[in-house]
Amino acid sequence: MNTAMPSKQRGLTFSGFLFGAVTLIFASIIGLKLIPAYIQDSTIKNVFISIANDPEMQKASPRDIRMAFIKRASIDDIRAITAEDIDIAKDGDRLVLSASYPVKIPLVANISLYLEFNPSSD
């Protein structure tokens, strides 16, 4: 017969479980609210790269470049920036497009996240 003293039980307490669950839920909510902003930034960067790599845009005027952005932005549903927010520069013979814009994401009550993005075709 086994008469040894049982070892002390170990495990997760109910309060520990609740704390972990609340932390996980809060992190998930923040993550789900941040994902669209990062997807939008990636889309803007991809549009900048495609315009900058377009051979027809290399000699185009800034107005034509902005019109190309407007057309692509309407297709990709870009609302974070407008064509006037784009900085157009030449780096040698390469076209470089960039922008800087903030995104404010409300979380709870008066708590918000403030993100600043700087997409570039460089």
The pLDDT of residue 102 is 95
pTM: 0.80
Interval 63-77: pLDDT, tens? 999 999 999 999 999
> How many structural domains is the chain composed of?
1
Cβ neighbours of 25 (radius 10 Å):
10
Give the span between the Cα atoms of 106 and 112, in whole angstroms: 4
Host domain of residue 76 = 15-117
Note whether residue 80 is domain-resident: yes
Note whether residue 97 is domain-resident: yes
Q: 48: burial class by Cβ within 10 Å (0-12, 13-18, 19+)? A: buried
Interval 17-55: pLDDT, tens? 999 999 999 999 999 999 999 999 999 999 999 999 988
Note whether residue 9 is domain-resident: no
Note whether residue 63 is domain-resident: yes
